[in-house]
Structure 1
């Protein structure tokens, strides 16, 4: 998984287009917390989250990434930071959000890693502490991007979707079956998620994503 740092690459241009769509939607509707998910594993949602955060940060926005994929986290690997304390510590009341913030090499991007794996993540995600964390994060950052498990794999994603201002669904060209994409969308609609759009990932060999419809 590679973060895109080339400001003039085709990939950067693609993310800039997506960023502009998100910022426009946010201006009109104040969308600040955005969950990013996929139908199944291997769609590229985590690297999409990271690259989208970079595009926002390069446009002078403060961005917090929260890794809520607590059974299979990867954000800490992408940004090469430790995952000793994180989201789960906040959700059990052990740490405050500020105590779990990690600074990245990109000055405007902070990361809250997943933290230790709990016995019952669904119970944690139904905690009032999660809502308080998201509210606090929006006080500190312009945008909060939440990387969650695939929506067809874990109930955690459905719970989180109902708490976020918007949801982006990532699908991979040549991998995601149409039936799974439709099932994922249906699952999000059932929990009254605000689906902002779909990113088609891997359309060509170079661009990581191709389009976002909002």
Structure 2
């Protein structure tokens, strides 16, 4: 892990010292927002999340309570390696990630985070779901996890959700968002898709999608909105949506994702939003002090 981190740091320094300004665009550092569009600048200028009165709290609670409840089967979750719904040694890596994420996002007044990876198979969706469950174990922490990997949706199968949930219909303005959002407990909501969506890139960068996300934030007032977005190298879908978030978390796959891929992805993300961090997933070889599970690095 130290060799990987050293290589990443070396690549960053090389970019910073490059003579070509375009090639020297370094990843945005946490606490130093970097924007490339008016939309992103507006996101960064947004005021802290504040409820103005007791009535605001009541309205938020009523909105969450009105969402259809979802109770996953424990056997199904564990079969799919969803372990952070309860405390325990297996949940520790996600709890550590949760704490670090919350610390950085609160320090910068960020509420929206996109989770992506260079290529498919890095485990970003499983990481998103486990991280969401870990966040939900904080009683005062409301989290919404929204699936935007519209070409290969997998969250419904991972969670064991059946029915006609298709959040892409809400993004296109066909249906009300609450028709495609399920609530777990009192403070975690999932927006999933059962099937693929047509023209996902155009949908994600459309004006309607931005309005829907803004309305969700205004109505449900989640402390964290997490978006499971497609791999960066698979399509332009994630890049089309990045103006709508405050930061992005990059997931790499141990023994498969290369330093060059991580470096390139960091540059592309930094051109559109703030890079929250890089997490290495599926690590098989860790010394005892590096953690209890497979996730490491941030």
Aligned to 1:148: 229
User: What is the 5 A alignment of 1:33-72?
Assistant: 33-60=112-139, 61-72=141-152
What SS does the corresponding residue of 2:169 show, helix, strand or coil? helix
Contact 1:38 1:169 in 2 (8 A): yes
Task: Look up the match of 2:273.
Answer: 193
- Point out the structure with the larger strand share: 1
Structure 1 residue 132 corresponds to structure 2 residue 211: yes
Which one has a bigger Cα radius of gyration? 2
**Contact persistence 1:76–1:83 (CA under 8 A):** no
Q: How far has the Cα of 1:116 moved from its partner?
A: 4.4
Does residue 103 of structure 2 align to residue 103 of structure 1? no
Deviations along 1:16-39, one digit per CA (max 9) or x if unpaired, are: 221111211222222111110000
RMSD, matched Cα: 1.8
Cα separation, 1, equivalents of 2:176 and 2:211: 10
Distance 2:233 2:266 in 1: 10
Shift of 1:14: 1.6
Which of these residues, 203, 210, 213, is aligned with residue 296 of structure 2? Answer: 210
> TM-score by structure 2 length?
0.66
8 Å CA contact retained: 1:102, 1:112: yes
CA displacement, residues 91-149 of structure 1 (integer Å, 9 cap, x when unaligned): 22111212211123x54221111354333111111211211222233231221111111
**Which of 3, 22, 25 does residue 101 from structure 2 map onto?**
22
* Paired residue secondary structure (1:27): helix
List per-residue Cα deviations over 1:159-204 (Å, max 9, x = no partner). Answer: 22221111000001111122211121122123x2211001111123
Q: Provide the rounded CA distance (Å) in 2 between the counterparts of 1:56 and 1:119.
A: 32
CA distance in 2, matches of 1:29, 1:133: 24
Confirm or deny that 1:167 pairs with 2:248.
yes
The count of corresponding residues between Structure 1 and Structure 2 is 209
Match of 1:158 among 225, 229, 239: 239
Provide the rounded CA distance (Å) in 2 between the counterparts of 1:209 and 1:20: 14
Could you list the runs of 4 or more consecutive aligned residues of structure 1 that deviate by over 3 angstroms after TM superposition? none
Q: Shift of the alpha carbon at 1:157?
A: 0.5
Contact 1:90–1:129 (8 Å) recurs in 2: no
3-state SS of paired residue (2:250): strand
TM-score (norm 1): 0.90
Q: Tell me how far apart the structure 2 counterparts of residues 161 and 154 of structure 1 sit (CA, whole Å).
A: 13
Alpha-carbon shift at residue 67 of structure 1 (Å): 0.8
Q: Distance in 1 between matches of 2:107 and 2:217?
A: 17
Q: Distance in 2 between matches of 1:133 and 1:187?
A: 25
Q: How does 1:176-191 map to 2 (within 5 A)?
A: 176-190=257-271
Structure 1's unaligned 5+ residue stretches are none
